[in-house]
């Protein structure tokens, strides 16, 4: 079976009741999470991962992507209506989206954002559908040196892009990589850092760490923050019509944002957030009336919102073709797939084509569901933003506790989660990025295996890596990134793409 | 508006704790490197189990030193903890721990109810009706979701078995 046949089969699989419910639930929960300030998509995905385990890898993947995707849709609602971004990728939408709302064009802004997100999402899925199998086939020829090169490049970019303090990013990556070495090393069956404890022999499970770092730490951060409930004005369905000029001005930013976001998604780090900032500055630069930006320019709303949706799909490519998650939500997805013994990577398209094609088909359906869900219910979602944290946090906390315990019926996992939560709270507070940490934990075993296999292959002579052009290219790009950062620092100019660590999550 | 006592705490205790955290990371890196040394490096041609973690420990030490050195040259951008925040943080963490300790005795439904109620009070949810209703709903939700829908065998507690 080839191409479209596989997609048709994927549609047949995705139209099962379980997958449809998972798709709808993911989209709905994601939208709610996007609307609610505080709880981000990564935390929600970590929180809900245990619930997807009984339903198989495809259903889990569909639901997780639905949450991530839905959060991109939902995040814009509060940005436009109350000037509070529901999540980090919607920060830039506040600038012009809320200005449009002040001018009585909230409905139009929301409709254009939903339309843009739908178009960008569809183009992103098309890109994923055509590019992922091609890249997956190309990646079949990769050996350990190429994977090692990719890992090193990913870590360097992650440290560079996800934080305004790359040293802290590097420290977090190293710490995450270390955590993955705890337990029996599968290459030589040697127990490391177990200190004679049986519980540590199998290593520290990924899920409690992820739920602690993203779920509990967010609960603690939200709990200590002082909140004033936002005043939300309603939007009626009949107000959702943009005028002809607004539609005309939105088309090009929508398409540019879609393409830009997709390719930004291929970069390590908080791609959805970075793509919005890059799209905004691109639109402002291309505009004939840049002075309108910040005062309700529709291009400044549609471009970034299209970009963040498309970036989600772009970031699925390194995950599915190489098995390397470049962002925190895809790290959670990788962990989820591994729980079902599905290892994403070049062989995925041969060993589990059903997972990939059902996922693609479900994403088309999910994108449509989000459009249908977001436009008519925008008023209700906007009101969700006024729910106070004291009503939400007890429920989230308890679900985290029971959820992590239920995976292996182990109190040890709950202790790990609480410890990770408290550490995560301080990491956030002191500007340490959490995403590199969790990506380090997930990629740790692959990195070690790639490194040791490369050393064995080259008989310890690492200069032989020069004979592997792709691996060499990756290392040279990584080196160039370090030099670029260093030179930018010496000149006193921060790199353009450096993001605020807290927002980057 | 912060009181003078809280303001004092923000300026005095905050940076100390942050530096202590960095120092702890530095120490941890050193311990990782030291313990890895004992596992054996092997050779580059046949790497041993200690080589990779030793490299990571060393990387943690180098990065921590650089972070501490960088902080000495500039004002820290990190936020500090005041007394109200510290109280909430400690109480919530203790409540999480209590959930684990009380679960085998009280069972998951009762302990979920009590924990949810405690969280409501820590988060200053007014009165007793709202916290009570929220805790009861949460406990019922957890019971239905985990016990009836997902069929997960959670401790019912020695009091109820």
A389 close contact with B: CB closer than 8 A: yes
A313 DSSP assignment: H
- pLDDT for residue A211 is more than 90: no
A486 close contact with B: CB closer than 8 A: no
- pLDDT cut 70: percent of chain A above it: 91
For residues B67 and B8, state if they share a domain: yes
Instruction: Give the number of C-alpha atoms closer than 13 A to the C-alpha of residue A340, restricted to the C-beta side.
Output: 21
The CA R_g of chain A, rounded to the nearest whole Å, is 22
Contact flag A395-B134 (C-beta cutoff 8 Å)? yes
Q: Which pLDDT band, with edges at 50, 70 and 90, does B10 fall under?
A: very low
B19 close contact with A: CB closer than 8 A: no
For residues B30 and B66, state if they share a domain: yes
Q: Which of B46, B78, B120 sits opposite A390 (nearest CB)?
A: B120
Q: Which pLDDT band, with edges at 50, 70 and 90, does B42 fall under?
A: confident
Q: Taking a C-beta distance cutoff of 8 angstroms, is the pair B77, A500 a contact?
A: no
B110 close contact with A: CB closer than 8 A: no
Q: Is residue B53 part of a domain?
A: yes
A211 DSSP assignment: I
Q: How many domains does chain B have?
A: 2
Q: How far is CA A40 from the centre of its chain?
A: 10
Q: Is residue B28 part of a domain?
A: yes
Q: Is residue B160 part of a domain?
A: no
Please give the pLDDT value at position A414. 93
The arithmetic mean of pLDDT across residues B79-102, rounded, is: 88
Question: Which residues of chain B are within 8 Å of residue A465 when distances are taken between CB atoms?
Answer: none
In the block, tokens 């030193």 appear at B65
Q: Give A 345-384 residues with CB within 8 A of chain B.
A: none
Q: Is residue B78 part of a domain?
A: no
Please give the pLDDT value at position A505. 38
Contact flag B53-A178 (C-beta cutoff 8 Å)? yes
Rounded CA-CA distance A318/B153 in Å is 37
The arithmetic mean of pLDDT across residues A362-390, rounded, is: 78
Question: Which residues of chain A are within 8 Å of residue B75 when distances are taken between CB atoms?
Answer: none
For residues B98 and B119, state if they share a domain: yes
Q: Is residue B138 part of a domain?
A: yes
Identify the domain containing residue A245 by its residue range. 3-223+232-504
- pLDDT for residue A217 is more than 70: yes
Please give the pLDDT value at position A499. 44
Please give the pLDDT value at position A498. 44
Q: Taking a C-beta distance cutoff of 8 angstroms, is the pair A385, A84 a contact?
A: yes
- pLDDT for residue A36 is more than 80: no
Least confident of A31-35, A113-117, B37-41, B99-103: A31-35
Please give the pLDDT value at position B91. 93
Rounded CA-CA distance B123/A224 in Å is 9
pLDDT, tens digit (0-9, with 9 covering 90-100), for A142-161? 888 988 988 898 888 888 76
Helix (H) or strand (E) run with residue B1 in it: none
Q: Taking a C-beta distance cutoff of 8 angstroms, is the pair A311, A261 a contact?
A: yes
The last residue of one of the domains, among B48, B73, B98, is B73
B37 close contact with A: CB closer than 8 A: no
3-state secondary structure of A191: strand
Nearest CA in chain B to A452: B47
Please give the pLDDT value at position A172. 92
Contact flag B138-A394 (C-beta cutoff 8 Å)? yes
Contact flag B100-A167 (C-beta cutoff 8 Å)? no
Identify the domain containing residue B122 by its residue range. 83-149
Q: Taking a C-beta distance cutoff of 8 angstroms, is the pair A424, A416 a contact?
A: no
For residues B138 and B104, state if they share a domain: yes
Among B20, B123, B139, pick the best mutation site for testing chain A contact (most A Cβ within 10 A): B123
The last residue of one of the domains, among B20, B38, B73, is B73
Please give the pLDDT value at position B161. 63
Name A262's bridge partners. Answer: none
Polymer length in residues for chain B: 161
Q: Give A 160-179 residues with CB within 8 A of chain B.
A: 165, 167-168, 170-171, 174-175, 177-178
Pick the closest to residue A305 from A116, A95, A30, A27 (CA basis): A116
- pLDDT for residue B30 is more than 70: yes
Among A397, A414, A458, A460, pick the best mutation site for testing chain B contact (most B Cβ within 10 A): A397
The arithmetic mean of pLDDT across residues A470-477, rounded, is: 91
Rounded CA-CA distance A351/A347 in Å is 6
B76 close contact with A: CB closer than 8 A: yes
Q: How many domains does chain A have?
A: 1
Among A152, A163, A169, A174, pick the best mutation site for testing chain B contact (most B Cβ within 10 A): A174
B64 close contact with A: CB closer than 8 A: yes
Rounded CA-CA distance B35/B22 in Å is 20
- pLDDT for residue B152 is more than 60: yes
For residues B64 and B87, state if they share a domain: no
Q: Taking a C-beta distance cutoff of 8 angstroms, is the pair A166, A176 a contact?
A: no
Q: Which pLDDT band, with edges at 50, 70 and 90, does A164 fall under?
A: low
Rounded CA-CA distance B115/A430 in Å is 29
Q: Which pLDDT band, with edges at 50, 70 and 90, does A494 fall under?
A: low
Q: Is residue B155 part of a domain?
A: no
- Residue A504 makes CB contacts below 8 A (sequence gap 6+) with A88, A162, A163, A269, A270, A273, A433, A435
Hey, what's the torsion of the CAs at A173, A359, A39, A109, to 10 degrees?
A: 120
B41 close contact with A: CB closer than 8 A: no
Please give the pLDDT value at position A173. 92
Mean pLDDT of chain A: 83
Least confident of A175-189, A234-248, A300-314, B31-45: A234-248
Among A152, A195, A408, A430, pick the best mutation site for testing chain B contact (most B Cβ within 10 A): A430
Q: Which pLDDT band, with edges at 50, 70 and 90, does A230 fall under?
A: low
Contact flag A429-B78 (C-beta cutoff 8 Å)? yes
pLDDT, tens digit (0-9, with 9 covering 90-100), for A179-204? 999 998 878 888 999 888 888 888 88
- pLDDT for residue B7 is more than 60: no
Pick the closest to residue A169 from A334, A40, A329, A328 (CA basis): A328
Q: Taking a C-beta distance cutoff of 8 angstroms, is the pair A71, A87 a contact?
A: yes
Contact flag B112-A461 (C-beta cutoff 8 Å)? no
Beta strands in A166-270 (DSSP E): 183-185, 190-192
Q: Is residue B156 part of a domain?
A: no
What backbone torsions phi and psi does residue A421 show, to the nearest 5 degrees? Answer: -65, -45
Please give the pLDDT value at position A76. 81
A223 close contact with B: CB closer than 8 A: yes
The last residue of one of the domains, among B44, B73, B102, is B73
For residues B126 and B97, state if they share a domain: yes
Rounded CA-CA distance A163/A439 in Å is 14
Please give the pLDDT value at position A364. 86
Give DSSP secondary structure letters for A402-416.
Answer: HHHHHHHT-HHHHHH
Q: Which pLDDT band, with edges at 50, 70 and 90, does A85 fall under?
A: confident
Q: Is residue B161 part of a domain?
A: no
A461 close contact with B: CB closer than 8 A: yes
Least confident of A172-176, A446-450, B88-92, B125-129: B125-129
Among B49, B61, B78, B112, pick the best mutation site for testing chain A contact (most A Cβ within 10 A): B49
User: Model ipTM?
Assistant: 0.86
Q: Taking a C-beta distance cutoff of 8 angstroms, is the pair A227, A388 a contact?
A: yes
For residues B132 and B88, state if they share a domain: yes
Q: Give B 82-101 residues with CB within 8 A of chain A.
A: 84-85, 88-89, 92-93, 95-97, 99-100
Q: Which pLDDT band, with edges at 50, 70 and 90, does B15 fall under?
A: low
């Amino acid at each position: 079976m080839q191409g479209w046949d596989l997609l048709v089969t994927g549609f047949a699989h995705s139209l099962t009741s379980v997958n449809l419910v998972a798709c709808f639930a993911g989209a709905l929960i994601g939208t709610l999470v996007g609307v609610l300030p505080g709880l981000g998509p990564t935390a929600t995905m970590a929180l809900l991962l245990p619930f997807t385990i009984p339903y198989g890898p495809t259903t889990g993947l569909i639901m997780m992507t639905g949450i991530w995707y839905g959060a991109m849709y939902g995040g814009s609602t509060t940005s436009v209506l109350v000037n509070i971004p529901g999540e980090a990728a919607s920060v830039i939408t506040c600038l012009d989206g809320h200005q449009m709302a002040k001018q009585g064009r909230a409905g139009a802004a929301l409709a254009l954002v939903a339309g843009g997100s739908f178009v960008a999402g569809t183009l992103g899925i098309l890109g994923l559908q055509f590019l992922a199998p091609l890249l997956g086939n190309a990646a079949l020829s990769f050996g350990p040196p190429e994977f090692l090169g990719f890992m090193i490049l990913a870590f360097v970019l992650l440290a560079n892009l996800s934080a305004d303090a790359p040293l802290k990013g590097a420290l977090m990556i190293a710490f995450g990589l270390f955590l993955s070495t705890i337990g029996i090393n599968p290459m030589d069956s040697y127990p490391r850092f177990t200190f004679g404890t049986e519980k540590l022999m199998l290593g520290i499970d990924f899920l409690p760490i992820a739920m602690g770092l993203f779920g509990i730490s967010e609960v603690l951060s939200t709990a200590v923050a002082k909140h004033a409930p936002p005043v939300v004005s309603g939007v009626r369905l009949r107000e959702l019509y943009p005028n002809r000029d607004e539609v005309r001005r939105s088309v090009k930013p929508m398409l540019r944002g879609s393409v830009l976001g997709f390719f930004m998604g291929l970069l390590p780090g908080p791609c959805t957030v970075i793509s919005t900032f890059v799209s905004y500055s691109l639109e402002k630069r291309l505009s004939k009336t840049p002075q309108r930006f910040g005062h309700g320019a529709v291009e400044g709303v549609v471009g970034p919102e299209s970009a963040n949706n498309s970036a989600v799909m772009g970031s699925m490519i390194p995950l599915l073709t190489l098995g390397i998650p470049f962002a925190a939500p895809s790290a959670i997805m990788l962990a989820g797939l591994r729980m079902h013994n599905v290892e994403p990577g070049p062989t995925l398209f041969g060993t589990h084509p059903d997972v990939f094609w059902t996922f693609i088909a479900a994403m088309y359906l999910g994108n449509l569901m989000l459009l249908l869900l977001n436009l008519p219910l925008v008023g209700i979602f906007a009101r969700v933003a006024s729910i106070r944290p004291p009503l939400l946090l007890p429920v989230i906390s308890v679900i985290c506790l029971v959820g992590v315990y239920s995976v292996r019926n182990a109190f040890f996992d709950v202790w790990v989660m609480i410890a990770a939560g408290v550490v995560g709270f301080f990491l956030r507070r002191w500007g340490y990025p959490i995403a590199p940490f969790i990506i380090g934990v997930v990629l740790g075993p692959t990195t070690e295996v790639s490194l040791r296999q490369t050393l064995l292959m080259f008989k310890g002579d690492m200069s032989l890596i020069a004979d592997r052009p792709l691996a060499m290219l990756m290392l040279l790009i990584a080196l160039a990134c370090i030099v670029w950062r260093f030179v930018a620092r010496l000149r006193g100019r921060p790199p353009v793409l450096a993001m605020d660590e807290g927002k980057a999550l | 508006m912060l009181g003078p006592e809280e303001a004092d705490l923000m300026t005095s205790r905050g940076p100390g704790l942050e530096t202590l955290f960095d120092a702890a990371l530095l120490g941890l890196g050193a311990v990782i490197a030291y313990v890895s040394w004992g596992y054996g490096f092997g050779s580059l041609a046949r790497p041993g189990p200690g080589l990779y973690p030793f490299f990571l420990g060393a990387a943690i030490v180098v990065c921590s030193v650089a972070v501490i050195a960088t902080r000495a040259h500039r004002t820290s951008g990190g936020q500090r903890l005041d007394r109200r925040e510290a109280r909430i943080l400690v109480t919530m963490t203790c409540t999480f721990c209590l959930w684990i300790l009380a679960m085998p005795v009280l069972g998951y439904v009762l302990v979920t109810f009590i924990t949810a109620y405690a969280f409501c009070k820590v988060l200053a949810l007014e009165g007793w009706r709202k916290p009570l209703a929220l805790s009861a709903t949460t406990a019922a939700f957890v019971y239905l979701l985990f016990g009836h829908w997902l069929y997960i065998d959670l401790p019912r507690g020695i009091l109820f078995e």
